[in-house]
Amino acid sequence: MLKRLIYRDALMLIIDKPAGLPVHAGPGGGPNLEQDLDALRFGLPNPPGLAHRLDRDTSGCLVLGRQRKGLSRLGKLFQEGLVEKTYWAITIGVPTQAEGRIELPLRKITNRSGWKMVTDPPGQSGGQTAVTDYRVLGTGNDLAWIEAKPRTGRTHQIRVHLAALGAPILGDRQYGGKSEQPLHLLARAIVVPLYPKKPAIAAEAPVPEHMRAALKSCGWKD
């Protein structure tokens, strides 16, 4: 965790969460991020707490609050949509439009095999409002390098929205079909207006090893 620390101050930490590690313990147990947060106390009596969530297979910027004051302030910022999050994704297929806004409500369905998020059919509005802005940064080999900015914070929002465009994320076995690759979704950057009288805090996560080849094929330069 110390090697993955991106930013630190009196109220907040930002770390580079590794792909494949859930933030919470699941029903079956196993390793999780919270088990390792004690290493990030930096002299405080308690470890930091999660200010928001990332999916198990998503890597990148994850914000932690230090002490109650930090967690409380961060919680309000996330709840009010004042934290700007930028994701990078590699998708199978290229969206028809190079940029745009996806406004498709999402709802959770559960069946015998588990649960997933789905978009509401036309005319039905039972799901939660979900909005994602996106733009294509590059293409290659029938893949697209996409920058996505979620304006709401729904579960699996970017994954479902990009799949609805006909461009599911590479490695997304739940919404994009069978794949042997890991999920190519990175929480690339985050901007947190934590202190009212100071500039917002901006942080950026490095590109994980498993995404580098696909990004380069779409024009990214290291």
pLDDT in tens, 147-186: 999 999 999 999 999 999 999 999 999 998 778 899 999 9
Is the pLDDT at 98 greater than 70? The verdict is: yes
Q: Which domains does the chain have, with CATH numbers?
A: 2-217 (3.30.2350.10)
Query: How confident is the model over 18-45, as a mean pLDDT?
Result: 89
Q: What is the mean pLDDT of residues 16-24?
A: 93
Query: What are the pLDDT digits (tens) for 201-210?
Result: 999 999 999 9
3-class state of residue 97 by DSSP = coil
Using CA atoms, how far residue 182 sits from 26, 129, 171, in Å, is: 20, 28, 5
Enumerate residues 6+ apart whose C-beta is below 8 A from 114: none
DSSP string, 37-70: GGGG-TT-SS--EESS---TT-EEEEEEE-HHHH
- Cα gap 26→36, rounded to integer Å: 15
**Positions of E strands within the chain:** 5-8, 12-17, 49-50, 59-65, 84-92, 99-103, 106-111, 114-119, 131-140, 143-150, 185-192, 201-204
What does the alpha-carbon distance between residue 81 and residue 77 come to, in Å, rounded to a whole number? 6
Residues assigned a catalytic role: 55
pLDDT tens for each residue of 123-137: 676 789 999 999 999
pLDDT of residue 211: 98
pLDDT of residue 125: 67
Query: Residues 101, 130: contact at Cβ < 8 Å?
Result: no
Contact 1, 36 (CB under 8 A): yes
What percent of the chain has pLDDT above 70? 98
Return the pLDDT at 221: 95
